[in-house]
């Protein structure tokens, strides 16, 4: 049973709704193209939602990366940034915020999260190593593998069950961790990585209890703990709501408790801190020096690390703001609303609701499409045709082929409806629910996809596919029958 959250308000009819604890002061226009235009656009994009243009998109739910709403204080801070190449005062404000919020002495700005992963791989990983994680992220895995290592995921039994009530599906199975350390030996394990929250399996958090157990075991063997905090404030929010021991703790306290377990921290600042940048942080002078040596080669000088100093300023503010429960919980609460409404409409979704997005389970939504025909990719394309809403494939297309050219089938086939923080409203979520539920009613019309242009690495970004049998036209025709030629 989850603890109640402050912005989930009970109405007099008993319904609980997430009420926004902010005012919208700047807006951006969007428009809903008619279904015929959507059909043309998805065809031109090779049925890959990454290749759609914003002008053809109504609600952009591809990602929360770099698309969260910034606060008035963040925008104000950007105006006073210090553009000095070296010694920028903006950096020192960031370093102060890192010390205050995360408790680390050394802060290293980088241009975004994957830059941190690149440096991690460069500095800590050697060929033949085994990197252990709760779950991989696409760019993390690519960097570890490019450095010659393999990635092993040590999740528990519940993690891949999409319909579940297990509150912390992002936990590492400690028995598996012990077995791996015994099998490979500490010298082959450069670090254990905990991702908050596990992006590819539905934004699922881990508990502090689990983090502490993992850290204790790793530390016994001299293995450092690396924390990917891209959604650190959301993970902290779930700890507060789902881990009874922390029900009365503040987000600040929970973050500090998590950080007390961490040897090396990094994040994509594009998420929890609502800016375009990235960060690494540690209390180890040795780690800091080793990373710093490569920073000017790949990122930039130590006081900007490839980021605009405007974003450095805004990250300092964003770090402090994410400790506000209303900020940390803004996306999780709207996601919970979206997921609950989808579930009530009969749409198969990942439960419990996680951070980052509402996830639709394509294996259950489109059971007639085999994995080799990419059900999650087909679902993302179909959602766009049915609604003008852009979601993201998180399934087999997001896994590259192995070295022999064979498909690596994803554990889960998900269409991810990301909920960028403080950007969309409840009426927009109701629209999403309605159109996805309509699509579910017409799911038999949706068929698979086949690659026509397939890049070797991270193929989901630029790959182009075709719709088998031209099913998208049948879907658009069914839509027009029900809704006319409009939207």
Task: Name beta bridge partners: 267.
Answer: 279
DSSP state of 71: P
Task: Select the residue whose beta carbon is closest to ligand F0G and give its number.
Answer: 113
Collapsed DSSP state (helix, strand, coil) of residue 101: helix
Q: What is the DSSP string of 104-154?
A: -SEEEEESSHHHHHHHHHHHH--TT-EEEESS--HHHHHHHHHTT-EEEE-
Q: What is the DSSP string of 263-325?
A: SEEEEETTSTT-SS-EEEEES-HHHHHHHHTTHHHHT--TTTTTS-HHHHHHHHHHHHHTTSH
Judged by CB under 6 A, the stretch of 110-118, 295-303, 358-366, 447-455 that binds ligand F0G is: 110-118
- Sign, CA dihedral 279-461-55-64, equals negative
Of 67, 81, 68, 65, residue with least CA distance to 313: 81
Does residue number 393 form part of the binding site for ligand F0G (CB under 6 A)? no
The secondary element (H helix, E strand) that includes residue 309 is helix 309-321
Nearer to ligand F0G (CB atom), residue 143 or residue 447? 143
Spatial contact of 304 and 313, defined as CB atoms under 8 Å apart: no
Name which position in 49, 71, 112, 387 contacts ligand F0G (CB under 6 A).
Answer: 112
Residues numbered 223-262 forming contacts with ligand F0G, rule: CB under 6 A: 228, 230
Q: What is the DSSP string of 9-24?
A: EEPTTS-EEE--SS--
Judged by CB under 6 A, the stretch of 32-40, 94-102, 133-141, 309-317 that binds ligand F0G is: 133-141
Does residue number 195 form part of the binding site for ligand F0G (CB under 6 A)? yes
Does residue number 355 form part of the binding site for ligand F0G (CB under 6 A)? no
Residues numbered 42-71 forming contacts with ligand F0G, rule: CB under 6 A: 63, 65
Residues numbered 263-302 forming contacts with ligand F0G, rule: CB under 6 A: 268, 270, 278
- Catalytic residue numbers? 85, 137-138, 228, 271, 394, 460
Spatial contact of 98 and 279, defined as CB atoms under 8 Å apart: yes
Judged by CB under 6 A, the stretch of 123-131, 132-140, 335-343, 372-380 that binds ligand F0G is: 132-140
Collapsed DSSP state (helix, strand, coil) of residue 157: coil
Judged by CB under 6 A, the stretch of 40-48, 109-117, 210-218, 461-469 that binds ligand F0G is: 109-117
Nearer to ligand F0G (CB atom), residue 113 or residue 448? 113
Q: Per the structure block, which two tokens stand in for 296?
A: 């000017």
Name which position in 113, 329, 332, 355 contacts ligand F0G (CB under 6 A).
Answer: 113
Sheet hosting strand 278-282, strand order edge to edge: 106-110, 278-282, 264-268, 225-228, 192-195, 130-133, 150-153
Does residue number 199 form part of the binding site for ligand F0G (CB under 6 A)? yes
Place of tokens 């759609």: 52
Question: Rounded to the nearest whole angstrom, what is the least distance from the CB of residue 238 to ligand F0G in the complex?
Answer: 15
Question: Rounded to the nearest whole angstrom, what is the least distance from the CB of residue 112 to ligand F0G in the complex?
Answer: 3
Of 233, 231, 265, 275, residue with least CA distance to 251: 233
Judged by CB under 6 A, the stretch of 134-142, 321-329, 360-368, 382-390 that binds ligand F0G is: 134-142
Nearer to ligand F0G (CB atom), residue 113 or residue 318? 113
Residues numbered 210-229 forming contacts with ligand F0G, rule: CB under 6 A: 228
Question: Rounded to the nearest whole angstrom, what is the least distance from the CB of residue 116 to ligand F0G in the complex?
Answer: 8
The secondary element (H helix, E strand) that includes residue 168 is none
Question: Rounded to the nearest whole angstrom, what is the least distance from the CB of residue 169 to ligand F0G in the complex?
Answer: 15
Name which position in 124, 137, 304, 471 contacts ligand F0G (CB under 6 A).
Answer: 137
Q: How far apart are CA 87 and CA 125, in angstroms?
A: 30
Q: How far apart are CA 440 and CA 442, in angstroms?
A: 5
Question: Rounded to the nearest whole angstrom, what is the least distance from the CB of residue 304 to ligand F0G in the complex?
Answer: 16
Collapsed DSSP state (helix, strand, coil) of residue 264: strand
**Chain length of the chain:** 487
Q: How far apart are CA 7 and CA 14, in angstroms?
A: 15
Question: Rounded to the nearest whole angstrom, what is the least distance from the CB of residue 245 to ligand F0G in the complex?
Answer: 25
Nearer to ligand F0G (CB atom), residue 113 or residue 190? 113
Judged by CB under 6 A, the stretch of 35-43, 137-145, 158-166, 460-468 that binds ligand F0G is: 137-145
Question: Rounded to the nearest whole angstrom, what is the least distance from the CB of residue 444 to ligand F0G in the complex?
Answer: 30
Residues 6 or more apart whose CB falls under 8 angstroms from that of 13 comprise: none
Q: How many residues bind ligand F0G (CB under 6 A)?
A: 15
State the residues that interact with ligand F0G by CB under 6 A.
63, 65, 112-114, 137, 139-140, 195, 199, 228, 230, 268, 270, 278
């Amino acid at each position: 049973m989850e603890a109640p959250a402050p912005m989930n308000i009970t109405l007099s009819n008993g319904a609980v709704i997430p009420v926004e604890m902010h005012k919208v002061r700047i807006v951006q226009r969007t428009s809903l193209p008619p279904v015929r235009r959507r059909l043309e656009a998805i065809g031109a994009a090779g049925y890959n939602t990454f290749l759609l243009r914003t002008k053809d998109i109504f609600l952009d739910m591809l990602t929360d990366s770099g698309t969260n709403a910034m606060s008035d204080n963040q925008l104000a801070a950007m105006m006073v940034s210090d553009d000095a190449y070296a010694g920028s005062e903006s950096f020192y404000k960031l370093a102060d915020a890192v010390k205050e919020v995360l408790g680390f002495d050394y802060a290293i700005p980088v241009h975004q999260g994957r830059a941190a992963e690149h440096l991690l791989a460069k500095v800590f990983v050697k060929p033949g190593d085994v990197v252990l994680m709760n779950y991989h992220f696409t760019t993390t895995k690519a960097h570890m593998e490019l450095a010659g290592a393999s990635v092993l995921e040590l999740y528990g039994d519940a993690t891949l069950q999409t319909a579940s009530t297990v509150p912390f599906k992002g936990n590492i199975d400690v028995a598996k961790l012990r077995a791996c350390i015994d099998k490979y030996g500490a010298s082959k394990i450069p670090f254990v990585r905990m991702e908050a929250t596990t992006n590819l399996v539905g934004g699922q958090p881990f508990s502090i209890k689990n983090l502490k157990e993992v850290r204790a075991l790793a530390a016994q063997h001299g293995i450092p703990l690396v924390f990917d905090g891209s959604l650190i404030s959301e993970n902290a929010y779930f700890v507060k709501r789902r881990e009874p021991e922390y029900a009365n703790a503040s987000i600040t306290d929970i973050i500090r408790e998590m950080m007390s377990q961490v040897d090396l921290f990094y994040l994509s600042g594009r998420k929890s801190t609502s800016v375009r940048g990235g960060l690494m942080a540690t209390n180890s002078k040795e780690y800091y020096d080793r990373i710093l040596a490569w920073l000017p080669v790949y990122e930039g000088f130590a006081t900007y690390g490839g980021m605009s100093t405007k974003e450095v300023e805004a990250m300092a503010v964003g770090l402090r703001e994410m400790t506000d429960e209303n900020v940390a919980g803004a996306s999780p609460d709207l996601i919970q609303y979206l997921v609950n409404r989808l579930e009530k409409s009969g749409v198969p979704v990942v439960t419990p609701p996680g951070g980052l997005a509402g996830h639709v389970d394509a294996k259950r939504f489109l059971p007639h499409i085999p994995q080799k025909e990419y059900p999650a990719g087909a679902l993302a394309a179909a959602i766009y045709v049915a609604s003008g809403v852009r979601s993201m494939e998180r399934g087999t297309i997001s896994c590259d082929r192995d070295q022999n050219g064979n498909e690596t089938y994803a554990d889960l086939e998900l269409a991810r409806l990301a909920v960028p923080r403080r950007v969309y409203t409840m009426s927009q979520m109701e629209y999403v629910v309605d159109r996805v539920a309509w699509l579910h009613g017409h799911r038999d019309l949706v068929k698979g996809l086949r690659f026509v242009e397939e890049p070797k690495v991270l193929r989901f970004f630029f790959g182009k596919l075709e719709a088998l049998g031209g099913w998208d036209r049948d879907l658009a025709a069914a839509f027009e029958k029900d809704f006319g030629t409009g939207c």
